[in-house]
Amino acid sequence: MRFIRLFLFHVRDYLSDQYFVWLTITSTVAIFLMQYTIAYAAKDLSNPLLWLQSGVFGTWTSCTTVAGCISFESYKGTLPYLLNSQYDERLSLITLLLPASSYGLFSFPISFVMAKILGVAIGKITLLMLTLIILLWLGCSVMGILIASFLTLSKDSMVYEALIGTPILLLAGLFGDEAVLRSLTRISQWFIPITAPIAALTRNVPFNWLAYFCSLSLWIILIIIVVRIINYLVRKKGALKII
């Protein structure tokens, strides 16, 4: 219950910052309109994957704001207390960072509504599609937690927010030539958790469960290692001033 209360508190705190709120909305709308323009010129509005690509892009864009969350809490002076309290610092950090990826799921309804308004094909909403979106969210959440945990060690975490979004999406195969993506994602799906859900959602590629859970496990192991380092710096050396 305490985890849920902390999570809801951070959700309200996250949504109180208009930058975080509007970034997800504008990024989703912008990428959708760009794809719509290309599809309209090519007379390809019957492609139901267009709105899903926009939803994925908006979700990941929201997830990358974990860097901003760290800087925001550091600016307010609350980050040391979140990491050095009676509550487990790992769970405290997770409740701080989950709102970014959770709010990012709002990108799919935004993209869906845009598709309806502009006459883009939606396709059939299936249980498999919803499952893939949840798996995408889980992958985004785990990746966001690791990225943010690592950035906790830096006083310039806000600077890296713009650097972690697009490169990872390119490696995960959201955009690009199909022949290139097939070769790229065959490798990246084993170490980037969002690759398999993206391929299944946006390119109708069969979902690779083994690759997904292998990559997810890799990032979780890295989270444990980084959090141990943070715990050592905070509790043993009192080095939280580096934030």
**Is it the case that residue 220 has pLDDT exceeding 60?**
yes
Sign of the Cα torsion 71, 32, 38, 169 reads positive
pLDDT computed for residue 243 by the predictor: 44
**Is it the case that residue 11 has pLDDT exceeding 90?**
no
pLDDT computed for residue 192 by the predictor: 93
Tokens 């995960």 belong to which residue? 172
d(CA 56, CA 200): 12
pTM of the model: 0.87
Question: What is residue 206's DSSP assignment?
Answer: P
Q: Rg of the chain's alpha carbons, rounded to an integer?
A: 19
- Any residues with CB less than 8 A from the CB of 203 and at least 6 apart, and which? 49, 173, 178, 181
pLDDT computed for residue 182 by the predictor: 83
CB distance 138 to 214 below 8 Å: no
Which tokens belong to 194? Answer: 């969002």
Band of residue 160 on the pLDDT scale cut at 50, 70, 90: low
pLDDT computed for residue 242 by the predictor: 44
Phi, psi of 21 (to 5 degrees): -65, -50
Lowest model confidence (mean pLDDT) among 18-22, 23-27, 95-99, 239-243: 239-243
Question: What is residue 212's DSSP assignment?
Answer: H
pLDDT computed for residue 156 by the predictor: 60
